[in-house]
């Protein structure tokens, strides 16, 4: 499984995704670790087993074991934080000021450059759809020196990986035997 195999599974109607996926796999504005981590964290956040397997197979060899772990950790912890903070941001009232009483200690020592972990968290937030989370993580990575172009690249990757997952999920459902179309 690899990015090539994902591309070959994409149907004709999703040709745009296929081409975007191919070009973003070599997106030059991010360094290797940043790019690989964004792909892996976004794939996990997009929740399709085939996509996750293929993306991890392709990009994990480009990462140290610690960085791979950190990319997975970003998807894991943001799976919690995006839901929780989206709630507090949307509902408002006193909720944003109540202590969350949730452990998120991995963010303190992610085992990788903090800015890269934040960038991966931003990509996951884009997939999970927490507006204020995106806003605040964007602020942090920009303050840490990443450019607008680099942030945009991460979100472009997240967007395409998500769309590929949606599409392959649909194709797999339709191909499943025994279900009346």
**Which residues are catalytically annotated?**
130, 133
Tell me if 85 contacts another protein by CB under 8 A. yes
Structure tokens at 169: 């999920």
Residue 34 CA to residue 180 CA, distance in Å, equals 43
Tell me if 128 contacts another protein by CB under 8 A. no
- State in angstroms the smallest separation of the CB of 45 from another protein: 14
Residue 85 CA to residue 81 CA, distance in Å, equals 6
Distance of CA 77 to the CA centre of its chain: 12
Residue 115 CA to residue 52 CA, distance in Å, equals 23
Biggest CA–CA distance in the chain, Å, is 53
Q: 20, 33, 46, 125: which one contacts another protein (CB under 8 A)? A: 125
CB 81 within 8 A of CB 104: yes
All residues at 6 or more sequence positions from 32 whose CB lies less than 8 Å from its CB, including other chains: 62
- State in angstroms the smallest separation of the CB of 94 from another protein: 12
Counting Cβ atoms within 10 Å, is residue 155 exposed (0-12), middle (13-18) or buried (19+)? buried
Tell me if 101 contacts another protein by CB under 8 A. yes
Instruction: From 18-26, 47-55, 58-66, 100-108, give the range in contact with another protein by CB under 8 A.
Output: 100-108
Q: 28, 93, 94, 108: which one contacts another protein (CB under 8 A)? A: 108
Q: 19, 139, 152, 170: which one contacts another protein (CB under 8 A)? A: 139
Binding mask 21-60 for another protein (x = CB under 8 A): ----------------------------------------
Residue ranges binding another protein (CB under 8 A) = 77, 81-82, 84-85, 96-97, 99-105, 107-108, 118, 121, 125, 130, 132-133, 135-137, 139-140
């Amino acid at each position: 499984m690899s990015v090539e195999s994902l591309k070959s599974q994409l149907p004709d109607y999703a040709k745009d995704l296929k081409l975007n996926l191919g070009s973003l796999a070599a997106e030059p504005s991010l360094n290797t670790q940043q790019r690989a981590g964004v792909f892996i964290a976004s794939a996990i956040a997009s929740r399709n087993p085939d996509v996750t397997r293929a993306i991890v197979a392709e990009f994990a060899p480009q990462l140290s074991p610690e960085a791979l772990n950190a990319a997975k950790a970003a998807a894991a912890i943001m799976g919690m934080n995006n839901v929780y903070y989206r709630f507090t941001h949307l509902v408002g009232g006193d909720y944003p000021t109540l202590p969350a009483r949730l452990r998120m200690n991995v963010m303190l020592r992610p085992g990788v450059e903090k800015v890269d972990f934040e960038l991966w968290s931003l990509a996951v937030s884009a997939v999970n759809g927490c507006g204020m989370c995106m806003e605040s993580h964007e602020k942090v990575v920009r303050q840490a020196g990443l450019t607008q172009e680099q942030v945009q690249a991460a979100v472009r990757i997240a967007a395409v990986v998500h769309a590929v997952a949606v599409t392959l999920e649909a194709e797999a459902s339709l191909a499943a035997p025994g279900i009346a179309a």
